[in-house]
Structure 1
Amino acid sequence: MSSLRNAIPSRAHKERSQPSARKKFGLLEKHKDYVQRAKAFHKKEDTLRKLREKAANRNEDEFYFKMVRTKTVDGVHRPESEANKYTQEELMLMKTQDMAYILQKVQSERKKIERLTASLHSIDNPPANKHVFFAEDREEAKELQSRYSKSEIPLTIDNILTGIKRKTDRSYKELEARKDRLSQLEKIYMDMAMKKELQKNGRKRKLTEDEIVCPTSQPVYKWRAERKR
């Protein structure tokens, strides 16, 4: 009898699908989906409860690292702004160090440009290279003349000159790139120097275009003369 019961296929139980009127809400939530959602919800609740307990039982006198970056205003801890993190003297010192680094780069680029310009000048103006041969008699002189009048040596010299020309072209491109970099570094240095001067004490004003003797793209400022004590 048991074998006959096992031979008859059992009916497949299908879960109820989402009603047609509720298709817009997506798939119908099953019991296993509810269990998973409930566990996640209670886990978040427990975490928040523990954090509230820690905050309520926290010792106000206990040190924590945020203490050094906050100040008390009317009994409330407020974080200090980043603008007040450094004093005016410290900011000036950092700007001076940055300017020294940029100035070092400017001087380095100038030296490289000078060396590259000198090497290109020696290539463009090579010294006269003449070979002098001495012969014992006229027959040996004719033999030397006929030997070096062939096309072997000029062909070899042309190959050498072609290689020199390619190297010269690359050097000229490098020279132009270094000049552009030098101009950019000089502009950055001038901007930093101007910002540093503007941060100093003293009354100053920006000159108009009519007051500038030699017009430039950079703004020009004039400081009021003060009597030194």
Structure 2
Amino acid sequence: MSSLRHNVAKKQHRERAQPAARRKWGLLEKHKDYVLRARDYHSKEQRLKLLREKSKTRNPDEFYHGMLSSKTDKFGIKQAERESSLALSNAEVLLLKTQDEGYLTTAVATEKHKIAKLEEQLAFAPAAAAPAAPAAPIDDDSDYDYGLSDEEAPKKTRLSKRARRAKYAGEQRHTPAAPVLNATSSRGRDKIVRELSDRRERLQQLERVLGEVQLQRQLMKPGQKKKIVKDDGKVVWKWKAQRKK
């Protein structure tokens, strides 16, 4: 009698699908996909290794067309050209200086805003006095006799435990926090003054550099101009008036 083992339906083992939370990352990588990716990575690695070996063992005296455009110094050492040494057109340089001017303008505006805030803190420092300490809570369980007789003394008022707890919580909520370093304290004022001095100096440097960049941009534009040196050694430029069409 033949075996019935092959007639029973076998269970199909399917690969796990991509979880719903990770569907945005694409399909779930299976083992066969990993094998292909690993083979591709190692093949590229081997090719790069082979190219490095070829470059090391290449004869430097062998002719190649790069020799026609390369240069050597007086010692025979090859001078490699850097990408930064390539000459840029006038329009490209003007665009770069325009971007520099935009950055410097933003930096100057930021420094002016910060200086104004620091000056405002110093201006309002005398008026910003330290907050007064909260009044000590009155013990509800004590008598308010103030030297009066038993007949003249007011009746003692008592609060429930819940009312006293609510009153204490309200006083704690309105109690000022620990003092912070601000313009009202001597140490905080000195710190603000130092920061204000540093920022003013930085603002002067930024404005000087911004003026230099703006002058360079104007000099790169077309038009006849003349350099004038004043008696004090200051250099100014004067442009010839252009007739408007």
Query: TM-score, normalising length from structure 2?
Result: 0.46
More helix as a share of residues: 1
Question: Larger Cα Rg: Structure 1 or Structure 2?
Answer: 1
Structure 1 length-normalised TM:
0.48
